[in-house]
């Protein structure tokens, strides 16, 4: 059973991926949600539950401050990884989410009747 906090929306942006504050790979945003994103990349040295940073490189992202955010890898696939944005990073991330999300309306998973993880919460 999937435990999603919010609906994913297709989005496009180039990403720079960091481990321990060092750039390690490039990637491309596939989709974005209120709490995280899926990054397409061929970089394989990223483990489940590892903290990584991503930086949005798109000219369509207009921010007053930083476009780099920390998050935890919540799933891995052959073509990329899912990242849940760290709660402390959420305020700035929500600005990017608003800019990049598609025309789809955002629906909370709680509204769909799913239950959320007890250890992590996404600000709604």
| CB-count burial class (<10 Å; 0-12, 13-18, 19+) for 14 | middle
- Check pLDDT > 60 for residue 107: no
pLDDT band (50, 70, 90) for residue 85: confident
pLDDT surpasses 50 at 28: yes
Q: What is the pLDDT of residue 120?
A: 47
Q: Where are the alpha helices (DSSP H) in 13-107?
A: 90-100
pLDDT of residue 13: 84
36-40 and 68-77 beta bridge pairing: unpaired
pTM of the model as a whole: 0.73
Domains and CATH numbers, the chain: 9-102 (2.40.10.220)
């Amino acid at each position: 059973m999937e435990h999603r906090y919010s609906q994913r929306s297709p989005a496009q942006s180039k990403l720079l991926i960091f481990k321990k504050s060092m750039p390690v790979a490039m990637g491309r945003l596939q989709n974005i949600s209120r709490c995280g994103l899926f990054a397409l990349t061929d970089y394989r040295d990223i483990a489940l539950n590892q903290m990584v940073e991503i930086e949005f490189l798109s000219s369509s992202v207009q921010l007053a401050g930083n476009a780099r955010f920390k998050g935890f890898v919540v799933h891995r696939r052959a073509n990329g990884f899912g990242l849940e944005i760290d709660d402390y990073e959420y305020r700035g991330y929500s600005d990017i989410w608003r800019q990049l999300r598609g025309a789809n309306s955002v629906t909370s998973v709680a509204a769909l009747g799913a239950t959320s993880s007890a250890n992590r919460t996404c600000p709604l």
